Amino acid sequence: MAEGRIITFKIKRSSAGGESHWDEFDIPWEPQMNVISALMHIQRTPKTRDGKTVAPVVWEQACLEEVCGSCSMVINGRVRQACSTLIDALLKDGGSTVTVEPMTKFPLVRDLIVDRSRMFEALKKVKAWIFLDGTHNLGPGPRQAPENQEEAYPLSRCMTCGCCVEACPNVNDSSPFIGAFAISQVRLFNLHPSGKMNANERLDAISGVGGVADCGKAQNCVEVCPKEIPLVDSIAVVGRDTLKRALFGWLLK
């Protein structure tokens, strides 16, 4: 793209009465421009295309390098991280308009900010932690094969950004489905040599209503995950393990 080019940002805003409206901003193209650098530009000069001065857009951000999970938004119809969405890549097939909307599966706070606390609650529910005896010095941890690390590490990069929840057709107002990320965390902790010891607690938390069985295997989640976490594999592994537990759990009783 060339210098002097103008990119139009159509941004969905909250109105005072609780409804939404769109504001359009014209922003000069810059090399390596991304959606956040454009929002920063609006912050400094919050003037719409038709010359009206408005309140700067509000959004969440922190790391600007796609590792904190703050900046998930729906950009040109697809949920993604605003900081790593380069305008050149986004518009590589032409066009000069970028639409930006808040995620829809979480309660709206204002403009592009939504409330993702349900995700952190889900992590409590599935006990996504090691049951540590304490932080006093107990010497080295369990030995682990490099292959174990190679399986765990990608799962451990989940930044609770919510893209998988936004994209999932089975998450909606009338469904309590927990979401792919939480299922994948169950797999992560059940893989760890000491995490395994509480595997059943986690499997129980993810069985039943809102659990892994509510997933319709639509695979939308894996397509949007910015960290390319193998969510469908995780769902398969955890689904199989809950099933096994349901069968043998009953037998053992």
Residues at the site binding ligand SF4, with contacts judged by CB under 6 A: 158-164, 167-168, 170, 180-181, 184, 215-221, 225, 227, 229, 231-232, 235
Residue 102 is a binding residue for other proteins (CB under 8 A): no
Query: Are the CB atoms for 245 and 203 separated by under 8 Å?
Result: yes
Q: Is 155 helix (H, G, I), strand (E, B) or coil?
A: helix
- In sequence order, which residues have a C-beta less than 8 Å from that of residue 117 and are 6 or more positions away? none
- 55 contact choice in ligand SF4, other proteins, ligand FES, none (CB below 5 to 8 Å, kind-dependent): other proteins
Instruction: Count interface residues toward ligand FES (CB under 6 A).
Output: 12
Any idea how long the chain is? 253
Q: Give the residue with the Cβ less far from other proteins, 17 or 251.
A: 17
Which residue is associated with the tokens 């397509």? 223
Residue 32 is a binding residue for other proteins (CB under 8 A): yes
Supply the minimum distance, in Å, between the C-beta of residue 195 and ligand FES. Answer: 26
Supply the minimum distance, in Å, between the C-beta of residue 63 and ligand FES. Answer: 4
- Residues 78-97, mask of contacts with ligand FES (x by CB under 6 A): ---x-x--------------
Q: Give the C-alpha separation, 102 to 114, whole Å.
A: 7
Report the candidate in 222, 209, 104, 251 with the shortest Cα–Cα distance to residue 154. Answer: 222
Instruction: Tell me the DSSP string of 168-209.
Output: -TT-STT-----HHHHHHHHHHHHSTTGGGGHHHHHHHTSST
* Residue ranges in 153-192 that form contacts with other proteins under rule CB under 8 A: 153, 156-157, 159-160, 189, 192
Binding segment toward other proteins, per CB under 8 A, in 52-60, 93-101, 232-240, 245-253 = 52-60
Residue 129 is a binding residue for other proteins (CB under 8 A): yes
Residue 37 is a binding residue for ligand FES (CB under 6 A): no
190 phi-psi bin (left φ>0, alpha ψ -120 to 50, beta other): alpha
Query: Are the CB atoms for 7 and 87 separated by under 8 Å?
Result: yes
Supply the minimum distance, in Å, between the C-beta of residue 218 and ligand SF4. Answer: 3
**Which residues bind to ligand FES, rule: CB under 6 A?**
61-64, 66-71, 81, 83
